[in-house]
Amino acid sequence: MSKLKAEAKPLREPLPMGAKTGATVVVEPLLGGELKAPPHFLQTTHEPGTRRAEIQMLGLFSRRSKFNTLPVPAYLVTHPTAGPFLVDTAFHASVSAKPSANLGRTMASFAHPTIEPGRDVPSQLRERGIDSQELGLVVLTHMHFDHTSGIAEYPAATFVVSAPEWEDATNDSKPFMRGYMPNHYDYLFDYRTVDFNQPGVSSYASFGRTFDLFGDGSVRLAFTPGHSAGHCSVICRLSDRDLVIAGDAIYTYDQLEGGDPPPRPFDLHNWRRSLRDLQQFAATYPQAVILPGHDPEHWPTVEKRYE
Ligand SMILES: [Zn+2]
């Protein structure tokens, strides 16, 4: 039983926000902060889940000068009738001035989270005429701290997340050890959970279980568990191809291409299955855009706007 005051209701039908037959969306990747990570934080040369992988992940024997600066993205998606919404929140704006207030002292000192002054996600939304306080929808690929940090900035939003992710993030007795910070989401907000066993969930291309968010096929949540208990990727229909916000199902583009696995996925077997779904999609639709979760080399090649 969850000790949190936050509660979620199931989302059984597409959101009634304005489906439009044949709708396509615009996707704007936003850099919502950065953090420092040891060289093998994203990809291990050991067997994932082992002690050696964990030691290598934490970089106990790596010099800080060897740490990588990782992008922490959020995605602004604009639907022609449902309007703008976010996929993930990246860091809360307060992280630019005082990272420990939102992320805690351990994370602040270990990962050096930063936001370039004035480049927090709400400021980037404001530049586009969008008030974060009034935004109506946020989709979460999963609930690890670097994706939920900014939740409090969207009090009017409906938050959509998979049911197993919500269960894990709100019931864990040691959430911090597994990347969850309940202080980010323990609000009486409108949380909706998607059960990928319910009627209406269908396959799409290589993905076995997808949920049509608006009911018009423009945005689909694809169940890609493994990185975390209920991780989802988000498939967005652009005018002439699909764009997949892969989230942390792949940290890097190299992983999509068969590179070294992550050091500590929640479930290695499911991580590999979800990876295969993404790989098969990429092979079938070579023109599709696939965006990894935290790839420092790939991020500079990501376009400002996809339509
Ligand atoms: Zn992440």
Q: Are 285 and 205 in contact (CB under 8 A)?
A: yes
Ligand 1 center–CA 178 separation, angstroms: 12
Instruction: Name the 3-class secondary structure at 273.
Output: helix
Ligand 1 center–CA 294 separation, angstroms: 7
Ligand 1 center–CA 21 separation, angstroms: 33
Instruction: Classify strands 190-194 and 68-79 as parallel, antiparallel or unpaired.
Output: unpaired
pLDDT attached to residue 190: 98
Query: pLDDT (tens digit, 9 = 90+) per residue, 146-201?
Result: 999 999 999 999 999 999 999 999 998 788 888 999 999 999 999 999 999 999 99
Ligand 1 center–CA 293 separation, angstroms: 6
Q: Tell me how far apart the alpha carbons of residues 74 and 210 are, in angstroms, rounded to a whole number.
A: 21
Ligand 1 center–CA 123 separation, angstroms: 21
Q: Which residues contact 291 (CB under 8 A, 6 or more apart)?
A: 29, 73, 75, 243, 244, 245, 246, 302
Q: What is the mean pLDDT of the chain?
A: 96
Q: Extract the tokens encoding 273.
A: 């299955």
Q: Which residues contact 127 (CB under 8 A, 6 or more apart)?
A: none
Instruction: Classify strands 190-194 and 8-10 as parallel, antiparallel or unpaired.
Output: parallel
Name the pLDDT band for 1 (thresholds 50, 70, 90): low
Ligand 1 center–CA 148 separation, angstroms: 9
Ligand 1 center–CA 146 separation, angstroms: 5
Ligand 1 center–CA 20 separation, angstroms: 31
